[in-house]
Chain A
Amino acid sequence: MPRFLRNSRLLGQMLLLSFCLYGAVHGQDALPVEAAPEGVQVPKPKDPMLIYLKRHLNVQRGLIKRTCNLDEVDINNLDSIGEDWIKLELVKVAPKQDGMINQGVALFFGGAPRPIAANDPSKIRKIQSLLDEKLTAGLSPEQRGLVLEAIEDSEKFECEANAQVLVSQMDKMFVLTADQRESLEPKIASWVKGKSLYMQYYTQQNNYLPDIPESILENTLTLEQCKRFKAIRKIAVDRLSIDLQMFQHQQPLAEQDY
């Protein structure tokens, strides 16, 4: 056999060996699936979306009961909406089939295919609004108005709280005057409306801010402050996604039916 052909074969073998070794060292090991001992029933972990939505149901139902004067029929109607209804809605929005993401070349290096993430925040939001509609459907227009007002108040409170935390963080990062704090607060409160930011992320470190548009700040901040704001790393940490991830690994500490 000509020498150059022998070398190409050797090169091929070397490359194969390298890939195998690389796969062995860096590749994700398959986790051994331990079989449960006979007769022992392993509790099936709850769906994080179900836990999240059940919490939302409890809070909204509790709020309705505390906002309106309800008769027994209304209360029974509210209590009849439970986990089963949420499960039904979750089935409706579930993907048709659980596909696998093809990781391309990663598979060649020993990576395992991953299932498509089922925890889709947009689906949760959709079910949340359906749930709110269902909970308030049986109420009189007056009661419905009271409940919507209470929900709006709660959201406004949260927006103000988040805005104050962000302003306070900015103050730590590039020193705001009292007037600047006062002026920025409502602007940021209206920007955070509808966003589910995970505030703990921003308070636990002095290096990150969410991606607040500069146009909101530039009339209030000085040029130097604007320059420092631009230099800060921006990251949007979605609270809903964090909650879902948390519920995937641990059950809520305390649940209460309202």
Chain B
Amino acid sequence: MIYFALVRRSLLSQIALLLLAWLSIASMTSPVLFAQPGQPDIFQQNILQQKTEKVFREDVVARSHDLIERVKQSCELEPAQLEKLQLAAEGDVVRFYREFERIKSEVKGVNQNDAQAFQRVWPILSPLYQRVQQGIFDESSLSHSVLKTTLNSGQLEQFETAEAKRRDYAFKASCKVAIADLSREIPLTGEQREKLLAIMISVARPKKSHLQMESMIGMVILGKAIKRIEEESGLDKKQLDHLIKLLERVRGMEGNFQW
């Protein structure tokens, strides 16, 4: 009886050992294509950004209504206009999810840390990633096209004015933060900061930029305005020399913006 128990146990343990050996060797030597539990999934990490699909969808739906919210803040909408814009927003969500599901089916489960698999699927994932990063419903969206045909000229003007104020606010913030960053390298007086800000705000600003380049706008504007800065900012030679050296890091970056 004892012998039988030992034989059975040894058989079981031999199977278990073989399985353990196979698992450990297989997991170490072959490239892990699919994410194992606990390993980062490329779709989860880059598109859902560690949210659940339910939370992500709620976010997408909320974002699809942002344009309507911006319009409502700037002018009064007729119920029929609102309905049309809401339908367009729903259409945008449907269009987005068509792309989302297609890409998800192709890349879901790929292990983010597997360099080979990452390289293979990144071209498929990248457009959706850019879209999620940049803003899902941009000017090419259905909502934007419908907006232009739905609002009357007065409403459109009010909307454009409000949007211009919004852009001005963001641009001024970028310029101010660039000057604040500069103050960590160059000793600037309050007067010099204000003059720099006034010059930067009066320079032609980019119409469009890539999200990753947003933080460089201020420095690029400083580079564009360098002649005026030399003449009007009150910066002395040492400060100007230093600024010109610092602006080397954004040389050639103008091309990344739409002017």
Contact = CB atoms under 8 A, between A and B. Distances in A.
A251 B135 CA distance: 35
A25 interface: yes
Nearest to A2: B6
Contacts of B62: 174, 224, 228
Interface string B4-19: 0011011001100100
Nearest to B68: A175
A3 B246 contact: no
A164 B173 contact: yes
Interface in B232-249: 236, 238-239, 241-242, 245-246, 248-249
B177 A165 contact: yes
Given A22-B28, A224-B62, 20 more contacts: A4-B6, A7-B10, A7-B17, A11-B17, A21-B28, A24-B28, A62-B187, A63-B189, A157-B180, A161-B173, A161-B177, A164-B172, A167-B173, A172-B170, A174-B62, A175-B66, A175-B73, A252-B185, A254-B242, A256-B238
A79 to B, nearest CB: 14
18 contacts: A22-B24, A22-B28, A59-B184, A62-B239, A63-B188, A153-B190, A157-B190, A158-B183, A161-B176, A161-B177, A177-B73, A200-B215, A206-B135, A231-B51, A252-B185, A254-B246, A254-B248, A256-B186
B249 to A, nearest CB: 6
A154 to B, nearest CB: 5
Interface residues of B, number: 61
Interface of B: 6-7, 9-10, 13-14, 17, 20-21, 24-25, 28-29, 49-51, 55, 58-59, 62, 66, 69-70, 73, 133-135, 162, 165-166, 169-170, 172-174, 176-177, 179-180, 183-190, 193, 211-212, 214-215, 236, 238-239, 241-242, 245-246, 248-249
B238 A203 contact: no
Contacts of A25: 28-29
Given A178-B165, A254-B245, A231 B59 contact: yes
Contacts of A178: 162, 165
B14 to A, nearest CB: 7
Nearest to A163: B173
Given A256-B242, A258-B187, A3 B10 contact: yes
Interface string A11-42: 10010011001101110000000000000000
A56 B200 CA distance: 25
Given A171-B169, A231-B58, A203 B187 contact: no
Nearest to B184: A59
Contacts, number: 154
Interface in A178-220: 178, 181, 199-200, 203-207
A214 to B, nearest CB: 18
Interface string A126-142: 00000000000000000
A25 B21 CA distance: 15
B187 to A, nearest CB: 3
Contact of A157 (B7, B183, B239): B183
Contacts of B215: 199-200, 203-204
Contacts of B21: 14, 17-18
A60 B186 CA distance: 9
Contacts of B58: 231
Nearest to A182: B169
Contacts of B236: 66
A199 B104 CA distance: 32
A24 B166 CA distance: 55
A253 B245 contact: yes
Contacts of B133: 205-207
Nearest to A171: B166
A55 interface: yes
Given A157-B180, A171-B169, A205 B211 contact: yes
Contact of A181 (B29, B134, B169): B169
A168 B170 contact: yes
Contacts of A181: 169
